[in-house]
Amino acid sequence: MFILKFLGVTPQYDFLATLRNLIQPGITTKELDQIAEDLILKKGAVPAFKGYMGYPAALCTSVNEEVIHGVPGPRQLKPGDIVSLDLGVKLGGYYGDATITVPVGEVSKEAERLLRVTEMALYEGIKMARVGNRLYDISYAIQSLVESNGFSVVRDFVGHGIGKNLHEEPQIPNFGRPGHGPRLKEGMVLALEPMVNEGGWQVRILPDGWTVVTADGKLSAHFEHTIAVTDTDPEILSLPSSSGEGQKILRS
């Protein structure tokens, strides 16, 4: 259990909370990336995405119809936008990965609902991350919450195991058959990350080779935590372990 306790101090949700507070109309995605990288380096951690398969930044910033892997640049956020902030860090040889999607100023009721449903789907998935369950119990819990709210789950990208590498086995689709897939075992560390579209699930990749957008141009949201399967409740490693926030949500 040493590894789990160690990962419990991965600080990236603190980073995301800091970034969330800086979100306001006019800020550019590049400024957010620069701040994220400074925060990470100041903690003695390493930005996990920078240089990964040639990715040029520490943070992924995906705005509105952008699903994931939006590359930070001169784009200024404006009122009504939603922006996902996806951040990976490496500390003491172990990786952590987390994402939040944040409203910029006032957003539409539908955008608000999309954010709420996507975050709820993440927590429905986490609740299923228990010894005795199967991997696709997690997938199914996410999918059902999303689809019962009239949204769709992205199929071309999935969550993943994580540890000494950013991406490890198993792949974790956000859809699947309950009671199927590998058995969950104590000590598994997983990055669960529902990517939820307002419209259809189809996506395409922009010519920059990174940015994934919805095929129909409708909104998309993304929430992610790094979690551990334990002998009791799942532990959310990408939350500050002192906060108790995740455990409260899991019990509600």
Q: Which residues bind Co ion (CB under 5 A)?
A: 97, 191
Taking the complex as a whole, the smallest distance from the CB of residue 62 to Co ion amounts, in Å, to 13
Q: Which residue(s) pair with 133 in the sheet? A: 131
**Closest residue by Cα to residue 197 from 136, 150, 144, 137:** 150
- Residue 65: name its binding partner from Co ion, ligand MF3, none (Cβ under 5 to 8 Å by kind): none
Cα–Cα distance between 82 and 198 in angstroms, integer?
A: 12
- Residue 60: name its binding partner from Co ion, ligand MF3, none (Cβ under 5 to 8 Å by kind): ligand MF3
Q: Which of 5, 24, 38, 52 is the binder for ligand MF3 (CB under 6 A)? A: 52
Using CB under 6 A, which residues numbered 145 to 184 contact ligand MF3? 160
**H or E stretch covering 99:** strand 94-103
- Residue 49: name its binding partner from ligand MF3, Co ion, none (Cβ under 5 to 8 Å by kind): ligand MF3
Using CB under 6 A, which residues numbered 192 to 251 contact ligand MF3? none
User: Judged by CB under 6 A, does residue 115 bind ligand MF3?
Assistant: no
Question: CB-based burial of residue 28 (10 Å sphere; 0-12 exposed, 13-18 middle, 19+ buried)?
Answer: middle
User: Judged by CB under 6 A, does residue 90 bind ligand MF3?
Assistant: no
Q: Count residues contacting ligand MF3 (CB under 6 A)?
A: 11
Cα–Cα distance between 95 and 236 in angstroms, integer?
A: 14
Give the sheet arrangement for strand 212-214, strand by strand: 66-68, 212-214, 203-205
Cα–Cα distance between 252 and 246 in angstroms, integer?
A: 10
Q: Which of 32, 60, 135, 195 is the binder for ligand MF3 (CB under 6 A)? A: 60
Q: Which residues bind ligand MF3 (CB under 6 A)?
A: 49, 52-53, 55, 60, 69, 86, 88, 97, 160, 191
